[in-house]
C-alpha cells in the first residue's frame, strides 16, 4: 500500500501545494498504470486529489492517464492532450512523479485544446539542496548556520526528529519544483555531526526514508578527518592504505543502511576545516579517495572549491581572494575521478548581491562541476528583506552557456527551517521554488517561474493580488542592491552575522574582503595591467571586457577596478552621484513596495499578510540605515556633495 500524502500540522503554510492547486486533476477520472514505489506515490497523490475534488480513480474511459512503462530511473516524461484526454507517460516512476506535478502546475491548461506530445527532461541531473543544519545547537552557529527560518527541519534536541511527517511534506514540496537531492547536515562538520557517518547512521536512515517517497536522495556532509575522529587512526592521509580501507568500510556500511544514498559533501582545507594539505596531498588526492569508496555503490563526492587564505594580511595588495579557487583547482583539471564533483560557488567571493560569475565554472573542462547558489539570504537581507533572486540566478546560469551548460549539477544552500512559513519570510518561498525550476531548466524565463509560484501559492488570487505580488517581488533584487553595496564592491556588512551596514567592517580583517576606499576613489584593481591579474582567469571576450574600466559593465566596475569618485559611468552619472542616487532610490522603492503590500491586506490570509508586513517594517528601517551610513561614509571620504542637495549626515 502506498504511504498516504503527508499532512501538515495546523498552522503550517502549504507553500506552493495548497489543496486548490490540485483541483484541475482531482476533479477528473484518472487512470494510473505502472508499478514501483514512486508510482505508488503518484497513486496516493491522485487518490487524495480525487477525494478532495470529486474525481475518481478508474480502470477505463479516463480523462487523465498517468503511465509508467518501467522503473529505469529516468526523470523524463511526455505530456499530451488529445480528444479530451490528457496523458503523461514515463519510462520510470521518477518521470511519472515529475509529470504529475507538471500537470498540477498547469492546472486547467493541461486539459484544454490539442497538445501534441512533448517530452520534458531536466537539463541538470542532480538538483540538490545543502542544509547547513547542526544536530546539536552550536554555541556560535546555532541550530542552522546562516539559517533565517527557525530551527532545523531534521534535527531537534541533539537527534533526528521523531515525527518525520513534516520532513515527508518537505520532500513533497521539493519534488513539486524539481529538486531531487538533499544534504541533511552542515558542511562545517562538528564532533556530533561526524558520528552520523558511523554509529548514528540510523538517524540518517530515518530521514532518507521520509524523503524517498518523493524521489529525494539523501547526502551527508562528512569531515575529512573522520578516520581520526571516528576510527582512532593516527592519520587521515588520503594515500594511506589504512585510511582508504577505513573509508571503504564505513561507506559500505552506509549503503547497507541506505541503499540509495547519494554520497558525501566535503569542505576541506577551507576556513579551518581539515583536509589533504596537512599531508602534502592535493584536493584531487582527497576527493579521489572518497570517490573510490563511493564508486562501487554508485555514490558521488561533492568537493567544495571554497578554498582561500582566510588569514590574509590586509596590507598585502597582491593576495586576492577572488583568484583563490581558480588558482587552487585549475592545475588539477582532469585529475579528479568521474564521481568526484567540484562544487563551485557561483561567484569568486561569497554569495554577494552582485559579483561576476566565477571563471572556475567554465575552466574545468575535464572535471564534473556543480554550481553552488545560496537560497538562504545571508548577504541579501536574511529573509527579513524581500529579495527574489531569480533574475540574478538566471544571469549566472546563462553566462557562458551558448555552447551548452558548463556545469553538470546545481546546488543551493537551503533557506528552509521549522518556521510555520518554511522560509521565515513567506515571500522567500519564491526563492526555493525558483531554484528548483531553474535547476530543471536553466534557460527558463525567471519571470514566468515567478508567475508559476504566484499561481500555485495563491491559486484563487484575483488579478490585483497577482499583480501586487509581481510588483513587490520582480524588482526586489535590484532594489536591495541599490541600498546596499554599490557597483559590485561587495560586503560592507556587519562582521560575523553579516546583517546590516558596516562599511569598514571587514576592511582591516584577515578575510580578504576589501573595498580600498580612500579620499580619491574606491574599488579593487583586479586588472592584468596594474592589479592582481584576476581578469586573466577569464576566457575571451570576458578577459578583455573586464580588463578596462571603459568596457567593464557598470554593475561590476568596483569589483574589477579602483576608480576616482568622479569617474563617469555608462549611465552618465559619476560614481559618487550613483552611490547617492541609488541609495535614496532603494529606500523609496522599499517604501512603495510596503504600500503595495499593505493594500493587499484583504486578499491574503491574515497570518501570512501580518508576517510580511512585519518584515517590511524591518526592511524599511534597515534600508534607511544602509542609505544613511553608506552615503555619509562616502560624502565624508570624498568631500563631494550630492548634486541634488538631499540630506546626507
CA distance 181 to 214: 10
- The distance from CA 123 to its chain's CA centroid, rounded to whole angstroms, is 17
Q: Beta-strand (E) ranges in 47-165?
A: 56-57, 64-68, 77-82, 85-90, 115-120, 126-130, 133-138, 142-144, 155-156, 159-160
Catalytic residue list: 271, 350, 378
Contact 376, 414 (CB under 8 A): yes
* pLDDT tens string 325-369: 999 999 999 999 999 999 999 999 999 999 999 999 999 999 999
- Residue 225 CB partners (closer than 8 Å, separation 6+): 236, 274
pLDDT digits (tens, 9 = 90+) for 506-524: 999 999 999 999 999 999 9
- Judge whether 58 and 29 are in contact, CB under 8 Å: yes
Report whether pLDDT(312) > 80.
yes
Residues 6+ apart with CB under 8 A from 358: 325, 326, 344, 345, 346, 347, 348
Residue 1 pLDDT: 55
Say if residue 61's pLDDT is above 60.
yes
CA 420 to chain centroid, in Å, comes to 20
Q: What is the pTM of this model?
A: 0.98
Percent of the chain's residues with pLDDT above 90: 98
The C-alpha cell at 188 is 562545517
Cis amide leading into 541 (omega within 30) = yes
Q: Check residue 328 and report its DSSP letter.
A: H
The whole-number pLDDT of residue 400 equals 87
Domains of the chain: 19-120 (3.30.379.10), 126-457 (3.20.20.80), 481-524+562-638 (3.90.1330.10)
543-564 pLDDT, tens digit each: 999 999 999 999 999 999 999 9
At 402 the pLDDT is 86
d(CA 559, CA 215): 41
List pLDDT tens digits, range 68-98.
999 899 999 999 999 999 999 999 999 999 9
Question: Is residue 501 predicted with pLDDT exceeding 70?
Answer: yes
pLDDT above 90 for 633: yes
Indicate whether 640 pLDDT > 90: yes
Amino acid at each position: 500500500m502506498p504511504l498516504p500524502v503527508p499532512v501538515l500540522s495546523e498552522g503550517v503554510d502549504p507553500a506552493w501545494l495548497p489543496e486548490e492547486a490540485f483541483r484541475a486533476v482531482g476533479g477528473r477520472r484518472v487512470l494510473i498504470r505502472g508499478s514501483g514505489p514512486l508510482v505508488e506515490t503518484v497513486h496516493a497523490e491522485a487518490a487524495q486529489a480525487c477525494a478532495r475534488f470529486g474525481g475518481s480513480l478508474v480502470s477505463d474511459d479516463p480523462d487523465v492517464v498517468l503511465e509508467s512503462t518501467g522503473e529505469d530511473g529516468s526523470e523524463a516524461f511526455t505530456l499530451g492532450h488529445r480528444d479530451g484526454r490528457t496523458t503523461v507517460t514515463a519510462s520510470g516512476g521518477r518521470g511519472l512523479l515529475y509529470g504529475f506535478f507538471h500537470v498540477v502546475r498547469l492546472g486547467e491548461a493541461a486539459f484544454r485544446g490539442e497538445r501534441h506530445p512533448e517530452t520534458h527532461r531536466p537539463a541538470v541531473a542532480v538538483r540538490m539542496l545543502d542544509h547547513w543544519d547542526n544536530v546539536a545547537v552550536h554555541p556560535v552557529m546555532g541550530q542552522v548556520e546562516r539559517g533565517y527560518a527557525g530551527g532545523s527541519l531534521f534535527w531537534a534536541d541533539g537527534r533526528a526528529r521523531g515525527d518525520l511527517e513534516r520532513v515527508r511534506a518537505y520532500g513533497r514540496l521539493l519534488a513539486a519544483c524539481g529538486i531531487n537531492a538533499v544534504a541533511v547536515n552542515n558542511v562545517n562538520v562538528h564532533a556530533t555531526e561526524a558520528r552520523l557517518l558511523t554509529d548514528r547512521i540510523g538517524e540518517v536512515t530515518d530521514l532518507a526514508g521520509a524523503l524517498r517517497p518523493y524521489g529525494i536522495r539523501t547526502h551527508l556532509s562528512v569531515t575529512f578527518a573522520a578516520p581520526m575522529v571516528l576510527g582512532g587512526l593516527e592519520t587521515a592521509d588520503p594515500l594511506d592504505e589504512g585510511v582508504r580501507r577505513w573509508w571503504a568500510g564505513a561507506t559500505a556500511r552506509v549503503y547497507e543502511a541506505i541503499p540509495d544514498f547519494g554520497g558525501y559533501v566535503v569542505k576541506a582545507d577551507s576556513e579551518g576545516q581539515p583536509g589533504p594539505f596537512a599531508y602534502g596531498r592535493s584536493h584531487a588526492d582527497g576527493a579521489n579517495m572518497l570517490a573510490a569508496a563511493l564508486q562501487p555503490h554508485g555514490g558521488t563526492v561533492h568537493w567544495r572549491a571554497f578554498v582561500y587564505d582566510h588569514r590574509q594580511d590586509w596590507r598585502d595588495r597582491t593576495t586576492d581572494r577572488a583568484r583563490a579557487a581558480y588558482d587552487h583547482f585549475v592545475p588539477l583539471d582532469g585529475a579528479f575521478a568521474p564521481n568526484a564533483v567540484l562544487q563551485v560557488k557561483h561567484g569568486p567571493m561569497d554569495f554577494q548581491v552582485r559579483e561576476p560569475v566565477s571563471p572556475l565554472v567554465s575552466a574545468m573542462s575535464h572535471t564534473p562541476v556543480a554550481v553552488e547558489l545560496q537560497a538562504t539570504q545571508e548577504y541579501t537581507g536574511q529573509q527579513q528583506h524581500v529579495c527574489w533572486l531569480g533574475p540574478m540566478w538566471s544571469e549566472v546560469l546563462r553566462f557562458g552557456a551558448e555552447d551548452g551548460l558548463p556545469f553538470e549539477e546545481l546546488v543551493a544552500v537551503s533557506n528552509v527551517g521549522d518556521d510555520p512559513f518554511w522560509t521565515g519570510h513567506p515571500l522567500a518561498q519564491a526563492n526555493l521554488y525558483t531554484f528548483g525550476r531553474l535547476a530543471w531548466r536553466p534557460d527558463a524565463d525567471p519571470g514566468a517561474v515567478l508567475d508559476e509560484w504566484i499561481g500555485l501559492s495563491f491559486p484563487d488570487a484575483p488579478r490585483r493580488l497577482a499583480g501586487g505580488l509581481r510588483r513587490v517581488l520582480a524588482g526586489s533584487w535590484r532594489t536591495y542592491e541599490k541600498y546596499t553595496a554599490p557597483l559590485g564592491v561587495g560586503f560592507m556588512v556587519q562582521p560575523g552575522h553579516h546583517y546590516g551596514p558596516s562599511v569598514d567592517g571587514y576592511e582591516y580583517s584577515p578575510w580578504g574582503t576589501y573595498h580600498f576606499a580612500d579620499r580619491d576613489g574606491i574599488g579593487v584593481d583586479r586588472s592584468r595591467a596594474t592589479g592582481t591579474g584576476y581578469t586573466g582567469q577569464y576566457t575571451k571576450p570576458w578577459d578583455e571586457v573586464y580588463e578596462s574600466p571603459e568596457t567593464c559593465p557598470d554593475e561590476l566596475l568596483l569589483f574589477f577596478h579602483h576608480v576616482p569618485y568622479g569617474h563617469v559611468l555608462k549611465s552618465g552619472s559619476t560614481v559618487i552621484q550613483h552611490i547617492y542616487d541609488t541609495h535614496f532610490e532603494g529606500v523609496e522603492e522599499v517604501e512603495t513596495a510596503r504600500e503595495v503590500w499593505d493594500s493587499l491586506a484583504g486578499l491574503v490570509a491574515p497570518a501570512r499578510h501580518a508576517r510580511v508586513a512585519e518584515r517590511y517594517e524591518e526592511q524599511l528601517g534597515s534600508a534607511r540605515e544602509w542609505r544613511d551610513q553608506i552615503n555619509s561614509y562616502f560624502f565624508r571620504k570624498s568631500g563631494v556633495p550630492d548634486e541634488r542637495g538631499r540630506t546626507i549626515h
